């Protein structure tokens, strides 16, 4: 409750800043009003995406996440291109409404400008989407989703061994000799020392279960931790714990992904770089 309350109210407060600046600008420079608002909003989103209190779920351009066929040009503009598209469309829609209410002759022109802004980028994107052709060798991927409720069930009610058994049961139903990758969700296992991954019981059990599939690679999200050695540079997310008087351990908690190859002992670890304010990092 507290986290949700904080996220809603703090983001609402931050999002009011572009509107305050827009209102002030429009008072002194009316002709720059809407152009200034677009600039203020995109600047706010850019900053909000890069500081430690980031909350990218509310970035305007991400609202097209369920409709990738409409925004294929994101490969050139990024999500800020989508935000610009939405804001410009709203400004032109407002101009169209004003023209309609005032009965001006500019109604047709306003309609055409709005239609062009909406249809041309969408049409280009649909063409890019429909004309795209996959290249390279095909890979067989199995994705396993055990459907544990992430807030209360997974971390508090279901033992790790039971969770792992569920993962393996679902995996065995689908994995074949042709399977290249087996994917598990975020934070599937933990806490794992990032230097001792192969010694973790769950990892050993996975290797044992799929030892008959030497070409299989397993990719999974994990909760991990890294202990900093004396003299090792520390990250901005470092924590400390006094083990005994005069002996302080410096460490960080990692929301990470790992890849293990069943046919050998190789382990690749990817550390999440965009951390969620609160649960993963204290801004």
Q: Residue by residue, what is the 3-state secondary structure of 69-90?
A: HHCCCHHHHCHHHHHHHHHHHH
- What tens digit of pLDDT does each residue of 146-155 get? 887 776 777 6
Question: In the chain, what percentage of residues exceed pLDDT 70?
Answer: 94
**Residue 205 near residue 188 (C-beta atoms within 8 A):** no
CB 98 within 8 A of CB 33: no
Bridge partner residues of 140 (DSSP): 179
- How many alpha carbons fall within 13 Å on the CB side of residue 122? 11
Does 276 fall in a domain?
no
Distance CA 50, CA 67 (A): 25
Whole-number Cα distances in Å, 231 to 78, 193, 228, 251, 253: 39, 19, 8, 13, 19
The pLDDT assigned to 120 comes to 97
- Do both 96 and 182 map to the same domain? no
Tens digit of pLDDT for each residue in 103-139?
777 888 999 999 999 999 999 999 999 999 988 889 9
Residue 280: band (very low, low, confident or very high) from pLDDT cuts 50, 70, 90: low
The answer as to whether 28 is a domain residue is yes
Q: What is the pLDDT of residue 55?
A: 80
Q: How many domains does the chain have?
A: 2
What pLDDT shows up at residue 38? 96
Helix (H, G, I), strand (E, B) or coil at 152: coil
> What was the pLDDT predicted at 59?
92
Please indicate, yes or no, whether residues 98 and 174 belong to a single structural domain of this protein: no
For residue 215, being part of any structural domain is answered with: yes
Average pLDDT over residues 75-88: 96
Q: Looking at residue 69, what is its pLDDT?
A: 96
**40-54, 237-251, 264-278: range with lowest mean pLDDT:** 264-278
CATH code where residue 154 lies? 3.60.110.10
Report CA dihedral (106, 103, 121, 65) to the nearest 10 degrees: 150
Percent of the chain clearing pLDDT 90 (strictly above): 47
From 110, 131, 152, the end of a domain falls on 131
Mean pLDDT of 257-269: 89
267 shares a domain with 147? yes
Look up the domain containing 23 and give its range: 2-131
Please identify, among 69, 100, 131, the residue that sits at the C-terminal boundary of a domain: 131
- Does 69 or 136 have the greater pLDDT score? 69
- What is the rounded CA–CA span in Å between residue 61 and residue 270? 26
Task: Please enumerate in sequence order all residues whose Cβ is within 8 A of that of 114, keeping only pairs 6 or more positions apart, or say none.
Answer: 89, 92, 93, 95, 96
Confidence (pLDDT) at 254: 84
Residue with tokens 């090792």: 232
Is residue 173 a contact partner of residue 200, using CB atoms and an 8 Å limit?
Answer: no
Residues 81 and 199 grouped into a single domain: no
CA quadruple 267, 184, 262, 205: dihedral sign:
positive
The tens digit of pLDDT for each residue in 170-209 reads 999 999 999 999 999 887 887 888 888 888 888 899 999 9
In 103-224, alpha helices (H): 107-131, 160-172, 201-209
Provide the pLDDT for residue 107: 87
Under the banding of pLDDT at 50, 70 and 90, the label for residue 3 is low
161 and 259 share one domain: yes
On whether residue 281 sits in a domain, the answer given is no
123 vs 30, more confident: 123
> What average pLDDT does the chain have?
88
User: What confidence score (pLDDT) does residue 259 get?
Assistant: 93
DSSP β-ladder status, 189-193 and 239-244: unpaired
Note whether residue 229 is domain-resident: yes
């Amino acid at each position: 409750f507290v986290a949700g309350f904080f996220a809603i109210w703090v983001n609402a407060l931050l999002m009011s800043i572009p509107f305050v600046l827009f209102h002030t600008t429009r008072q002194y420079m009316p002709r720059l009003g809407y152009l200034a608002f677009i600039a203020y909003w995109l600047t706010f989103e850019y900053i909000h995406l890069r500081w430690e209190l980031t909350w990218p779920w509310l970035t305007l351009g991400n609202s097209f996440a369920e409709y990738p066929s409409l925004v294929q040009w994101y490969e050139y503009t990024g999500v800020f291109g989508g935000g610009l598209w939405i804001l410009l469309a709203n400004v032109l829609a407002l101009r169209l409404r004003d023209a309609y209410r005032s009965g001006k002759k500019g109604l047709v022109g306003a309609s055409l400008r709005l239609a062009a802004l909406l249809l041309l980028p969408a049409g280009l994107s649909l063409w890019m989407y429909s004309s795209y052709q996959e290249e390279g060798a095909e890979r067989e991927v199995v994705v396993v989703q055990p459907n544990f409720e992430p807030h209360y069930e997974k971390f508090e009610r279901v033992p790790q061994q039971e969770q792992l058994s569920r993962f393996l049961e679902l995996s065995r139903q689908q994995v074949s000799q042709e399977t290249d990758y087996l994917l598990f969700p975020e934070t599937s296992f933990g806490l794992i020392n990032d230097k001792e991954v192969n010694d973790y019981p769950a990892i050993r059990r996975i290797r044992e279960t799929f030892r008959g599939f030497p070409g299989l690679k397993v990719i999974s999200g994990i909760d991990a931790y890294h202990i900093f050695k004396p003299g090792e540079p520390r990250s901005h997310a470092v924590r400390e714990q006094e083990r005994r008087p005069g002996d302080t351990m410096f460490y960080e908690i990692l929301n990470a992904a790992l890849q293990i190859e069943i046919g050998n002992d190789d382990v690749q670890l990817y550390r999440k770089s965009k951390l969620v304010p609160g649960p993963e990092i204290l801004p």
